[in-house]
Structure 1
């Protein structure tokens, strides 16, 4: 990320530049937009920037004065000058302050892009030369996506790791997933007894990584044997899964070794308690075909949900979980597949106008001791959602039944308790449910139904007096009928009848 400040006393120019920079590349982030050198100085001490784009001529303090003051204060931020003046004297003065470039207004976008790319390259090169402490280096290699880090930064980190004795020789990675979590002190006590050089890193999701030296007399199965020894020294009540990598040398292989240990640990996570340790095998890294999971969603679960078949939906869910276990998906793939499953259920709920289910976070595989525990947690979440969908569907049908009842029995006096008994709900819940689904109260809906029938009678039954029409639709008081009718239609019953004749 290249952090950029834009300073210009013309608002259109500074805001326009900030907008253009934001469109060029998300990696270029404008962190400050200020109207004068003095204003900028007040912020730049608290805001880290890699590049300052500044006008020369500004009130209070011009760009060159600001640059000089920044250098006096020890700022190493790169600076590029913006100016509407091509006078060489300005350019010469700017060059004395070691500026990156001198851009004439209006700024040419291609020139700006070349400037930003040049600065980004210099910043990355500087970062790759900056020394990291060993723990930060290891964290970077273990947790980073190699494809998203600049090659110079990645190679610089690997080169610095190679300077450590542990990575100049053979090593393995042992990854523990435990419930409850194993602390660094407990793991350290176990590993220290082996008198091998090591590093311990506590990771997210109940994970702990041990980078462990391999001795010349060791063999290919040594990492697994050490993992079994570690397992035997952990508390009996702990539920542990351990994965071990192959044997490697060099900092550049640490990322691969950690990935292997992670694949092995996740493989063991699917196993029963009798097989808590797994040594990496190339087959673990295979991404199984997920088509069958999608087929179960499409052909089994969704039709059951859409048809209101909760038992069928629950049976389809259990089939889905069995298939997921057979495929032994990596956690991130399993989590993504489960999110799609939850999304499908929530989508059906929304189509039923019940809204999605919200109660706690969605379960994440690495938060559970093993697949069986995860499957139970996911099943509970799904059952809650299925029950929510079922209740919502029942509620939706209850509203429809009330609407139909009011259309058929509109002459009767409105009795909320009687309506609630009709659909086996409490009066307060029925009122809230009806308003939430229709946007109006039961009373308002009943009035609109009565007025609808009154308008029909006024148009078609000429032999009825207007007060008789009122009686027909449940308003025996003529004055009250006239008042309600006018409020709903803007006309009295007589005016309405006259208008439609």
Structure 2
């Protein structure tokens, strides 16, 4: 609800204006109608008022004098002027006092409605934002999509910031990010006494420095200041610095920050402890990582189909080096690296706990967490190599299991002891037993029994005149009773019942 007070020495006009206000909408309520300034001032403390609409030409105290007194008593009160005189001097003075509108009599209903809605939007902004200081306003415009912000909030933030000396001239934005971030206090010491017009904003691991420059200075000045800033930083500092183009007006703050951040990401690819890039010099990419990504997926699958793990591993190393040459954004690089790690994981026989660890590694593929491309390269290729170690270890272990299975198939009728099998593959009996169960899903004993019973079934199907106990002996069971027990457990019937059924 917007509470409106009308002040005019002509009864017809003040009553007509009150009627027009009521017609605009229920959200606008006239809480006072006064014939003069003194009358309003005597009641101002007892009424609810958000907006005062007053005539300029009134006896005793005119509208401009009323506005001065109201501003002193109620600084946040909104005010508008109406007058029957098209006098530019009055209008200019009224606007200087901060009135919302200067309306001519007779008041146009559409202009009145537009003014009332403007006041309502500003009041809503005041309620939402409260006492917003300059730092909050800067963060609002720097870090948010301006089109997504409520219009009153955005307009008011721009208006207030543009009243400051910094934004009454061209400006540009520095974004700085270090392995060990500098504090606001440290940055102030670096900048103080060097730059004339500046302000600092802090965001997580970044420091944003907004610098005003005279309109007479060339854009190359940005580059000069960037190089100077690097030299003024502590010798121990390790980080990257990006700068935007030069802009005029606070509506461009978001774009200036975006440009500086893009430049920072390009500087990340440079070598050395510190590096600087400005937006005017960043690489304009002609292609994305999609082509390289499709290429490595195809090459990886081809190498894995041949079980050429070493070839697949080298292919990924080459792919990553080609990615680095393109200097993609952190988001592009992160998504590509996550895709490649997931591709390897799909063919990697990892236990559940290791899957969780892999997911953490994949999610941790965030280049911005690393001070430089070299640090990230070490991390990423280390994760790739670790996965291939697991793959090759699995292949070796799989060969061990295949060797044992093949040995059992050829010697199933013998007395097979675990230590004898372990000697075939140069492992300890306990490790072989555990490995066999993990890789095949069954114990060595269970596998031996399944092989013996399959051979026994083949013998029993043939019309060779063999007794059931003789079949048992052929497959490694000298005890007929034990053979009968094992056979029935596996097949569901005794050897004799099976023999009679199949014949």
TM-score tier after normalising by the smaller chain length? 0.5 to 0.7
Residue aligning to 2:292? 293
Structural mapping, 1:2-401, within 5 Å: 130-131=128-129, 132-145=132-145, 158=158, 161-162=161-162, 165-194=165-194, 196-204=196-204, 206-216=205-215, 218-273=217-272, 276-281=275-280, 284=283, 286=285, 288-349=287-348, 358-359=357-358, 361=361, 362-401=364-403
Give the 3 Å change call, closer, same or farther, for CA 493–232 of structure 1 in structure 2: same
Could you tell me how far 1:150 is from its partner in structure 2?
A: 6.3
Q: Does 1:430 align with 2:429?
A: no
Could you tell me how far 1:216 is from its partner in structure 2?
A: 4.9
In terms of mean alpha carbon deviation, does 449-458 or 163-172 score higher?
163-172
Q: Does 1:477 align with 2:476?
A: no
Could you tell me how far 1:426 is from its partner in structure 2?
A: 4.2
Could you tell me how far 1:128 is from its partner in structure 2?
A: 9.3
Give the 3 Å change call, closer, same or farther, for CA 357–494 of structure 1 in structure 2: same
Could you tell me how far 1:156 is from its partner in structure 2?
A: 6.1
Distance across 1 between alignment mates of 2:285 and 2:234: 33
Residue aligning to 2:42? none
Q: Which of 389, 393, 405 is equivalent to 1:403?
A: 405
Give the 3 Å change call, closer, same or farther, for CA 336–161 of structure 1 in structure 2: farther
Could you tell me how far 1:490 is from its partner in structure 2?
A: 2.2
Could you tell me how far 1:462 is from its partner in structure 2?
A: 4.3
Give the 3 Å change call, closer, same or farther, for CA 237–146 of structure 1 in structure 2: same
Distance across 2 between alignment mates of 1:306 and 1:148: 49
Cα deviation, 1:376-417, whole Å, max 9, x if unaligned, reads 221111111111122222223333333333222222333333
Specify the structure having the higher radius of gyration (Cα).
Answer: 2
Alignment: residue pair count: 379
Could you tell me how far 1:332 is from its partner in structure 2?
A: 0.6
Distance across 2 between alignment mates of 1:262 and 1:251: 17
Could you tell me how far 1:461 is from its partner in structure 2?
A: 5.2
In terms of mean alpha carbon deviation, does 143-152 or 349-358 score higher?
349-358
Distance across 1 between alignment mates of 2:147 and 2:491: 67
Give the 3 Å change call, closer, same or farther, for CA 481–285 of structure 1 in structure 2: same
Question: Is the CA contact (8 Å cut-off) linking 1:128 and 1:154 kept in structure 2?
Answer: no
Distance across 2 between alignment mates of 1:499 and 1:150: 84
Partner secondary structure for residue 475 of structure 1:
coil
Structural mapping, 1:417-456, within 5 Å: 417-456=419-458
Could you tell me how far 1:238 is from its partner in structure 2?
A: 3.0
Distance across 1 between alignment mates of 2:355 and 2:215: 59
Give the 3 Å change call, closer, same or farther, for CA 130–453 of structure 1 in structure 2: same
Could you tell me how far 1:168 is from its partner in structure 2?
A: 4.4
Question: Is the CA contact (8 Å cut-off) linking 1:349 and 1:355 kept in structure 2?
Answer: no
CA RMSD, aligned part only?
3.5
Could you tell me how far 1:330 is from its partner in structure 2?
A: 0.7
Show structure 2 runs of 5+ residues with no match: 1-119
Distance across 1 between alignment mates of 2:149 and 2:405: 61
Residue aligning to 2:35? none
Distance across 2 between alignment mates of 1:424 and 1:156: 79
Distance across 1 between alignment mates of 2:285 and 2:127: 36
Could you tell me how far 1:295 is from its partner in structure 2?
A: 4.6
Question: Is the CA contact (8 Å cut-off) linking 1:128 and 1:152 kept in structure 2?
Answer: no
Distance across 2 between alignment mates of 1:214 and 1:282: 20
Distance across 2 between alignment mates of 1:237 and 1:373: 17
Could you tell me how far 1:147 is from its partner in structure 2?
A: 6.8
Partner secondary structure for residue 248 of structure 1:
coil
Give the 3 Å change call, closer, same or farther, for CA 255–234 of structure 1 in structure 2: same
Show structure 1 runs of 5+ residues with no match: 1-121
Give the 3 Å change call, closer, same or farther, for CA 184–417 of structure 1 in structure 2: farther
Give the 3 Å change call, closer, same or farther, for CA 284–261 of structure 1 in structure 2: farther
Give the 3 Å change call, closer, same or farther, for CA 491–152 of structure 1 in structure 2: farther
In terms of mean alpha carbon deviation, does 186-195 or 259-268 score higher?
186-195
In terms of mean alpha carbon deviation, does 305-314 or 385-394 score higher?
305-314
Distance across 2 between alignment mates of 1:127 and 1:468: 97
Distance across 1 between alignment mates of 2:492 and 2:126: 77
Cα deviation, 1:218-248, whole Å, max 9, x if unaligned, reads 4423333333233223333332221111122
Distance across 2 between alignment mates of 1:234 and 1:403: 67
Distance across 2 between alignment mates of 1:252 and 1:376: 41
Cα deviation, 1:127-161, whole Å, max 9, x if unaligned, reads 79722454444334444456766667656655565
